Structure 1
Amino acid sequence: MPFFQLHHIHANSDDTIPPVIDVEKGPKPEPLLRRSSIYEKPDDPNIVWWDGPNDPENPRNWSTLKKNINVGLISLLCFITPVASAMFAPGIPKVMQDFHNSNDELASFVVSIFVLGFAIGPIILAPLSEIYGRQIIYFIMNVLFVIFTLACAVSSNLGMLIGFRFLAGAAGSTPLANGGGTISDLIEQERRGAAMAVFAIGPLLGPVIGPVAGGFLAQAEGWRWVFWVIVIAGGLTTILFFILLRETYAPVILQRKTLRLQKQTGNLLLRSKLDNGLSATAQLKHAIVRPARLLLFSPIVLSLSVFQGLCFGCLYLLFTTFSTVYTEQYHWNTGKDGLSFLGLGTGLAISLIVFGYLSDRILKYKAGKGELKPEYRLLPMIPATIFISAGLFWYGWSAQAKAHWIIPILGTVLVGFGYLPVIMCIQTYLVDAYETYSASALAASTILRSLMGATIPLAGRSMYAKMGLGWGNSLLAFITLAMLPLPWMFYRYGEGLRKRYKVDL
């Protein structure tokens, strides 16, 4: 049984655990086991494994401080790269003016091309992290992200800017592709909800906070300085990663331990317990197609990814109206325009506190009844969609009626409050359900989410021009209302679908 599946446990005071839970096959009908038995060395002396339940090399046994540092670094990076996705959006009019282009669709594409990079990067980065480890992928991609962002800052034409924006997005997708896997490496399932909430807030708050800062910066110093600020922030973060980040992926740690013991003992027959016997090339070929296999052959992964992608696309489509509404209708300048995103940020922050608190407690409550299923992570999603729909109706019609500027912003608070649990619950569910291959599961979800987030907003300007703000946002609200039963269906039937359509990973 893979290492991470052995950690689906709930400790009792007498140091016993209930039957081991395999997330693919369900509970095994075994008697209660001593916790230490999980870590007993195999009978074969040539098999390398953890040195007992307290092995300090096991990331699950690291100190709380060391775990928090690694999770904090990933969460920081997962905030910076989404900030970069939208920070210069308020400066787009100046970009188009500098490059003598008035194409509205191309103006939207300059922003969304970064998100398209988010869709492409995980296809390669997630599988690579499951072969060579998380650490090296973070190191290399962080450096490339800084280089590509710097190239955006010095772009001499629109084509160059678009090209390097795409490459920066692909490199910046690393924490989205591998962050959930890192958290899975470090933290047991029953304590994972709070960490995933902190991790999830970056991709959500980033596109909100980015335009606020970017609006004032673009107005004061020009759009190029937006990229220089990102370069500085990314460079400092990269230095912190080189100093503080440690490898967390168990198969890679055990493989390094095996090589070290081979060198020390001269016994070349030693091999890791998690070694699948495949060459790096064969592993890469198999790993590259893993996210696609999950999307194509796992109905639950596909359904959740589509659900998440629709919500993500609606959110980015909503973003396309802010500049128009608040600059033309409320006569805000470029700098002040970014403040219109704060309603979403407020809703996301409140939601983070509420649903981050509830996630682990719901799981522990259910586990106390003798069950521990990934599907319990989906429960907070059930009421969330109604807030998204209500907020879209509120924002659209209050903006259409030209009510006081605070009224539409209050509507976006509801959108943000409902949106975070959708993303957080789906990501945490995928990590719990596919622990060893959680990076590939999240990559599959990120690919579809980012594609929809990049393409749906392209229709925003023409849709609002024809339907107006009221009916345009009502259309989005009706779409989210139609999705209202889906979270309950995922919760009720997700386990059956996951077990019936088991994907060979």
Structure 2
Amino acid sequence: MASEVDVVLADERQLTPTSTEPVPFSIFTPLQKRWILFLTGFAGAFSPLSSFIFYPAIVPIASGLGVTVGLLNLAITTYMVVSGIVPSILGNAADTIGRRPVYILALFIYFAANIGLATQNSYPALLILRMLQSAGVSGTISLGYGIISDIATPSERGSYVGIFALGPNVSPPLGPVIGGALASELGWRWIFWFLVIAGGFCLLMVVLALPETARPIVGNGSIPATGINRTLLSMLLSKIRGDENKQVQGVAKKARLVSFPNPLASLKVLLEQDLFILLLCNGIYYATGSCAQASLSSLFIQIYGYKELQAGLIYLPFGFGGLAGVYVWGEYRNHNAQYLKLTKP
């Protein structure tokens, strides 16, 4: 007859798991990850799109507002200055309050700024609204990279970045063509109405169905999101099922403190020598490229008599080259990570 101690030991062996399964890096399914990549890539496309769609219309906008092309180029300069400052603020805010609220705020500002740009009639209003437009959309690319780090392991991120970057890199070839066609056929104001429609559609999809991925808030996705971090679609489905007040079984909510975003936090990476050199080289490349791209369309219109649509077509080689380069780079990085993983002793 078994003793009481034997019975207790047998019960403990039954309650203790014999094997521990590794916790997945992210519980999002491949289909969910593809949806997240699509939405973030779509949102990220608006930052370069808002620049490149503007270039073929510089001459007609300057003529419509009664200013010189040189003065109108300041709208490009102020746009880029703001785009260099705001992402550091939005990126830090997204780490503390979540990706979804920052995406919604950024796209709403962008949506409102485009309405203002489509209806304004003065040069000062154009400058201010272009800065507001940049403030709204310039951080969407950095937010997208943050989401990739939330849902993808380091060995997967190369291909994820390659797919995500197709959104921002499709704008250089398509933006000038769209801008040139709209400016020549419907007038330059329709450039901004187009951005209102496209940006509003993107904002609607983000509000409805972009899940929260910030790891300080939802972990690997297993911690339920609450409030604005929760998608509107999930709220509606929960109300239909009648379980909006139920807790997910076995999952505890994570307490978190919301702090004011620190725009200087990201500057710490400049103290690392290799990253500083990398950022410096990319900054020089971006500065020289921006100088050429901003003046190219107006020069072709003034010197060669190009129409707005023709001026937009001259950006196609640069855009297609960027598309091919970013996709190949992503695949190479993913392959290199897999190779290092297999050959690691």
- CA deviations on 1:243-270 (whole Å, 9 max, x unpaired) are 210000121115965999xx999xxxx8
Match of 1:290 in 2: 265
Match of 2:172 in 1: 207
Q: Which residue among 150, 163, 180 is the counterpart of 2:115?
A: 150
1:209 to partner: Cα distance: 1.9
Do residues 176 (structure 1) and 124 (structure 2) align? no
Q: Which residue among 210, 219, 223 is the counterpart of 2:188?
A: 223
User: What's the RMSD between the two structures over aligned residues?
Assistant: 2.8
What is the TM-score when the length of structure 2 is the normalising length? 0.80
Q: Distance in 2 between matches of 1:207 and 1:242?
A: 27
Do residues 114 (structure 1) and 79 (structure 2) align? yes
Do residues 280 (structure 1) and 254 (structure 2) align? no
Match of 2:316 in 1: 342
* 1:288 to 1:351, Cα distance in 2 relative to 1, 3 A: closer
Aligned residues of 1:121 and 1:174 also touching (Cα < 8 A): yes
* 1:97 to 1:63, Cα distance in 2 relative to 1, 3 A: same
Q: Which residue among 61, 70, 73 is the counterpart of 2:36?
A: 70
Structure 1, unmatched stretches of 5+, are: 1-34, 39-52, 372-505
1:306 to partner: Cα distance: 1.2
- Structure scoring higher RCO (CA < 8 A, sep ≥ 6) equals 2
Q: Distance in 1 between matches of 2:225 and 2:316?
A: 51
Aligned residues of 2:212 and 2:225 also touching (Cα < 8 A): no
Q: Distance in 2 between matches of 1:144 and 1:98?
A: 25
Q: Distance in 1 between matches of 2:226 and 2:328?
A: 46
SS at match of 2:344: coil
> In the alignment, residue 44 of structure 2 is paired with which amino acid?
C
Q: Which residue among 336, 339, 344 is the counterpart of 1:365?
A: 339
1:291 to partner: Cα distance: 0.9
Aligned 1:371-382 pairs, distance under 5 A: none
Task: Give the number of the structure whose alpha-carbon radius of gyration is greater.
Answer: 2
Q: Which moved more, 1:182-191 or 1:348-357?
A: 348-357
Q: Which residue among 61, 69, 82 is the counterpart of 1:95?
A: 61
Aligned residues of 1:201 and 1:348 also touching (Cα < 8 A): no
Match of 2:16 in 1: none
1:292 to partner: Cα distance: 2.1
Q: Which residue among 284, 294, 302 is the counterpart of 1:310?
A: 284
Match of 2:9 in 1: none
Q: Distance in 2 between matches of 1:73 and 1:331?
A: 39
Aligned residues of 2:45 and 2:168 also touching (Cα < 8 A): yes
- CA deviations on 1:65-114 (whole Å, 9 max, x unpaired) are 1111011100011112321122122111111112221251x222222322
Aligned 1:473-484 pairs, distance under 5 A: none
Aligned residues of 1:82 and 1:202 also touching (Cα < 8 A): no
* 1:294 to 1:336, Cα distance in 2 relative to 1, 3 A: same
SS at match of 2:120: coil
SS at match of 1:248: coil
Aligned residues of 2:173 and 2:320 also touching (Cα < 8 A): no
Aligned 1:295-444 pairs, distance under 5 A: 295=270, 297-324=271-298, 326-328=300-302, 330-370=304-344
Percent identity between the two aligned chains: 23
Match of 1:46 in 2: none
> In the alignment, residue 312 of structure 1 is paired with which amino acid?
Y
- CA deviations on 1:438-465 (whole Å, 9 max, x unpaired) are xxxxxxxxxxxxxxxxxxxxxxxxxxxx
Number of corresponding residues: 305
Aligned residues of 1:80 and 1:206 also touching (Cα < 8 A): yes
What is the TM-score when the length of structure 1 is the normalising length? 0.56
1:271 to partner: Cα distance: 8.2
